[in-house]
Amino acid sequence: MKLDRNFAAQKYVLHPTRKKDMETMHLPFPRDWNPENLNLPQNWKEIALAKLDELRGKYRELQLFLDICVACGACADKCPFFIGTNDPHNMPVARQELLRSVYRRYFTTAGKLFHGLAGGRELDEDLIRQWYVYFYQCSQCRRCAVFCPYGIDTAVFTMAAREVMSAIGLTPRSLTESIAKCEIVGNHMGMQPAAMLNSISFAEQEIKEETGVDVHVPVNKKGAEVFFLVPSADYFGEPHWHTFKGYLKLFHRIGLDYTMSTYASEGGNFGTWLNYEHMKKLNRKITAEARRLGVKWILGGECGHMWRVLHSYMGTMNVNSDFLEEPVSPVTGTHFRIAQHSKTVHICEFTADLIRHEKIPLDPGKNKEFKVTFSDSCNPARFMGLIEEPRYILRNVCPNYVELDPSVNRERTICCTAGGGLLADETLPLRLRAIKPKIDAIRESQANFLALICAIDKAVYPEYLKHYDLPVQVGGVHELVSNALVMT
Amino acid sequence: MEPYVVAIAWILPYFTIAIFVGGLSFKSMNWLRRRMLVKWALYPVPTSGPGRIECLLVEIFTLRSLSKTSKGLWIGSLTFHAALILIILGHIRVFSAAPDYLMKQAGMTSIDTLSLVAGGAAGLAIVIAAVYLLARRVSIPYVRDISTVSDYLDILLLMAVFMSGDYMRFFSRVTLDETRAFFMSLAYFAPRPPPGDPAFILHFLVAQIFLMYLPFSKLVHFLGQLVNQKIVVTA
């Protein structure tokens, strides 16, 4: 591996939040700024250091990781953004060092006395500018943590650094544009309730045309057993849409008592990538709506970071999901043990369980034109261990299923490289470089259908594949389930 | 006795112990008093309790993550840490006759030979491993890039401890009877003169500096490892 000392990745920097959105979201120091002229408040340094001190006082994992890295370099060439750019700051350990050096300088005795000699670094505008570049070139995918002998997780540093930056008014438009919409309308797309209803009835019509079956989708239905939650791209995105119809057909086929909601119309949570406060704020509507509708448990669609929040954070975030019950499949009676804590079940677990109990008639022949492969998404794989279920489903609904090279898949996956707020046009050249190892694996597999379980994956892969000139169709796992499902 | 010997052998050890134990307690409490507000399990994690403990132990004792990363680094650090464990175990004999007694009871007669072979081999292996790790840090550009002064200081200090120890083992005539008598006297707060060989004083001094430095350096990772391995398997 070689290093590019010109710091090539510096040019991929996200556009700043608009003043209007900063005001809407009540972000501190609403103002016009850009990455060259940060236009920081006068006392930004004190605010930033106070915030960092607060965070390291609050989170065990952060203080621990600040202390124990021995810089062995095991993680260095594991970050897709380093692989794509050879920029030394994109080595996970170097990315962490941007924050750790500040910690050493201001919060350790050796750093206070010896500054640079003790590995400390002044927090100045140049450094904070680097933070804004490089902490927004981490998709928090945790691939580095898999290879670290201690499991040190760069996502912990990235989250902390972003929290500090948002306290001094440095946030990217790619996140805040969606968060602002979500906080007002309820979803990242800014889709009003009527538009969502339209979209659902459009899906009902399409299913009727395709299968001749009348499917009715319950919305805002009180007393339903299950609350079904999807990322908002599913309502109209391409290819998300086909997956969405797949869920609806499946629920109709098994007669599930469920409801969707126009209030909690978004499962995704871009707040996760900005700071804890906004993550919490966006998440709150989900538990609130589940409580209002009186459902027993939550079933969630194919999404990436939505699952990170639901599975790993929700249980300790907006406190009480105690009013929910332990999820039990009404069709098979299976208790979903992995969901005991969060009371939310991933659609792939749910469907895999249906297939295992032979509760849905499937005709894999319907997918015989496809040679299907599956790319793991970082959040379901590394944040909740959902690795076997999608594969089990795919083997049952497709006659031709092939695996990708496990060195860039399963728990070691390089996925969309567009998570963590990087989904913006200005990072496209960066993402195209970062995704290359995965694209090579897909090419090698000779598949013609790439199955995915993440809304961002589905949004970006068509673009990537086109760029790399790979004639592969992209779709959700439940799009293939939908094809194979025998409707009556 | 020379005043510097008094300082190193009679006074410093009590500070060393206090700083070492106090420092490690402070460090671990500093982590443990902070709560885990969110989960950071790193999947795949076994679903059963015993499975998780196994996962944790395998990682700690075989450094499985490193084996997936770089074979050279993995073998280097595994050798280093395995030799370190052997050396620490072996040092019990320096302080007390209990291991000898127990092993005799178990029917082992050639304890000194075993100590010479296993301990000597570990003492050499650890120096070789340390040299490898240092060479790797200096020679691989990206590792040199991420190294700070403290990374070099850590490894150099460790090498000083190992090499002074090896010198004492192979080239001096310090006997176990001498060291046992000395350390027992320290334990009873009635210090008697240490073994007279300068090699002992040298090794004892470097080892004490190292022990006082350890809790406040990255070398405290051995404790942090325990804390984090629990975090990553807690689903």
Does residue B179 carry a pLDDT above 80?
yes
- The reported pLDDT for the residue numbered B235 is 77
Q: If you measure CA to CA, which chain B residue comes closest to A57? A: B34
Residues A315 and A343 in one domain: yes
Verify that A254 and A145 share a domain, yes or no.
no
Q: Give A217→chain B minimum CA distance, Å.
A: 34
Q: Are the beta carbons of A64 and B145 separated by less than 8 Å?
A: no
Q: Is the pLDDT of residue A340 over 80?
A: no
Residues of A in contact with B142 (CB under 8 A): 1, 3, 73, 76-77, 88, 91
Instruction: State whether A74 and B216 contact (CB < 8 Å).
Output: no
Chain B residues 31-50 within an 8 A CB cutoff of chain A: 31-32, 34-45, 47
Per CB-CB distance under 8 Å, the chain B contacts of A59 are 34, 37
Angle formed by the axes of helices A455-467 and A240-254, to 10°? 140
Residues of B in contact with A2 (CB under 8 A): 141
Give me the percent of chain A exceeding a pLDDT of 70: 99
- What does the pLDDT read at residue B69? 84
> pLDDT class for A265, splitting at 50, 70, 90?
very high
Here the CATH number for the domain that contains residue B140 is 1.20.950.20
The pLDDT assigned to A320 comes to 64
Please state, in angstroms and rounded to a whole number, the distance separating the CA atoms of residues A339 and A326.
8
State yes or no: pLDDT of A318 exceeds 80: no
Q: Is A73 found in the same domain as A50?
A: yes
Strand partners of residue A227: A259, A298
**pLDDT band at A6, cuts 50/70/90?**
confident
Of B44, B145, B228, the CB nearest to A151: B228
| Number of residues written out for chain A | 488
- State the Cα–Cα distance between residues B93 and B202, nearest whole angstrom: 19
- What's the rounded Cα separation, in Å, for the pair A353 and A376? 19
pLDDT in tens, B115-162: 888 999 999 999 999 999 999 999 999 999 999 999 999 999 999 999
pLDDT of residue A2: 84
Q: Tell me if residue A260 falls in helix, strand or coil.
A: strand
Contact B42 A68 (CB under 8 A): no
User: Residue A61: which of A148, A168, A176, A171 has the closest Cα?
Assistant: A148
Rounded Cα gap, residues B163 and A165, in angstroms: 47
A65: which chain B residues are within 8 Å (Cβ-Cβ)?
A: 228
CA distances from A125 to A35, A42, A44, A45, A128 (A): 11, 12, 10, 9, 5
Burial-class residue A28 by CB neighbours within 10 Å (0-12, 13-18, 19+). middle
What are the pLDDT digits (tens) for B52-106? 899 889 999 999 889 888 899 999 999 999 999 999 999 999 998 888 888 888 8
- On whether both A132 and A63 belong to a single domain, the answer is yes
- Tell me which DSSP letter residue A76 carries: G
Is pLDDT larger for residue B100 or for residue B32?
Answer: B32
Q: Which of A171, A200, A224 delimits the end of a domain?
A: A171
Q: In what order do the strands lie in the sheet with A344-346?
A: A258-259, A226-229, A297-300, A344-346
Determine the Cα–Cα distance for residues B80 and B77; give it in Å rounded to an integer.
Answer: 5
pLDDT in tens, A278-301: 999 999 999 899 999 999 999 999
Position B114 confidence tier, pLDDT thresholds 50, 70, 90: confident
pLDDT digit string, tens, across residues A187-208: 999 999 999 999 999 999 999 9
Question: Any idea which of A28-37, A196-205, A339-348 has the lowest mean pLDDT?
Answer: A339-348
User: A365-382: per-residue pLDDT in tens?
Assistant: 999 999 999 999 999 999
What per-residue confidence (pLDDT) applies to B70?
86
Of A70, A118, A312, the CB nearest to B39: A312
Answer yes or no: do B42 and A142 touch at CB < 8 A. yes
Q: Does B106 touch chain A (CB under 8 A)?
A: no
CATH of the domain at A61: 1.10.1060
Cβ within 8 Å of residue A43, ≥6 positions away = none
Q: What domain count does chain A have?
A: 2
Residues in chain A closer than 8 A to B148 (CB atoms): 71, 119
Other Cβ atoms less than 10 A from the Cβ of B74: the count is 19
Residues A242 and A375 in one domain: yes
Identify from B40, B81, B132, B229 which residue to disrupt to test chain A contact, counting A C-beta atoms within 10 A and taking the largest count: B40
Q: Are residues A82 and A54 in the same domain?
A: yes
pLDDT at residue B198 in the model: 92
Considering the domain architecture, whether residues A430 and A478 belong to the same structural domain is answered as yes
Dist. CA A72–CA B63, nearest whole Å:
13
Token readout for A18 is 């608009």
Stated pTM of the model: 0.94
Could A68 and B216 be called an inter-chain contact, meaning their C-beta atoms sit closer than 8 Å? no
Q: How does the average pLDDT of chain B come out, rounded?
A: 92
For residue A169, the model assigns a pLDDT of 95
Count CA atoms within 13 Å of residue A335 on its CB side: 5
| Domain with B28 in it | 3-233
For chain A, say whether B77 makes contact (Cβ under 8 Å).
yes
Is the pLDDT reported for residue B4 higher than 80? yes
DSSP chain B: --HHHIIIIIIHHHHHHHHHHHHHHHHHHHHHTS---S----SS--SSHHHHHHHHHHHHHH-HHHHHH-HHHHHHHHHHHHHHHHHHHHTHHHH-SHHHHHHHHTT---HHHHIIIIIHHHHHHHHHHHHHHHHHHHHSHHHHHH--HHHHHHHHHHHHHHHHHHHHHHH----HHHHHHHHHHHHTT---PPPS-HHHHHHHHHHHHHHHHGGGSGGGHHHHHHHHHHHHH--
Domain that holds residue A129: 8-171
Instruction: Tell me the DSSP string of A103-132.
Output: HHHHHSHHHHHHGGGGT-----HHHHHHHH
Residue finishing a domain among A148, A171, A194: A171
Q: What is the pLDDT of residues A440-488, one digit of tens each?
A: 999 999 999 999 999 999 999 999 999 999 999 999 999 999 999 999 8
Say whether both A162 and A201 belong to one domain: no
User: Is B65 in the A-facing interface, judged by CB distances under 8 Å?
Assistant: yes
Residue of A2, A68, A388, A389 to mutate for B, most B C-beta atoms under 10 A: A68
CA distance B206 to chain A (A): 20
Q: Which residues contact A80 (CB under 8 A, 6 or more apart)?
A: A139, A141, A143, A414, A417, A434, A435, A437
Kindly list the residues from chain A whose CB atom is less than 8 angstroms away from the CB atom of residue B68.
146-147, 412
| A150 to B148: CB separation less than 8 angstroms, yes or no | no
Whether residues A83 and A28 share a domain: the answer is yes
A62: Cβ contacts below 8 Å, ≥ 6 apart: A55, A56, A156, A157, A160
Return the SS3 of A335: strand
CA A347, chain centre distance (Å): 16
On whether both A280 and A374 belong to a single domain, the answer is yes
Chain B residues closer than 8 Å to A341 by CB: 235
B7-27: per-residue pLDDT in tens?
Answer: 999 999 999 999 999 999 999
pLDDT of residue A82: 95
pLDDT for B107 equals 82
Task: Examine the pLDDT at A94 and tell me if it is beyond 90.
Answer: yes
Residue A244, pLDDT > 90, answer yes
Determine, yes or no, domain membership for A2.
no
Say which residue the tokens 């490894």 belong to: B155
Cα–Cα dist A326/A341, whole Å:
8
CA A314/CA A187 separation, integer angstroms? 18
Same domain, A158 and A189: no
The domain total for chain B is: 1
Nearest to A295 by CA among A338, A328, A252, A319: A328
Note the pLDDT of residue A319.
62
Contacts of A36 (CB under 8 A, 6+ apart): none
Query: Is residue A137 located within the same domain as residue A234?
Result: no
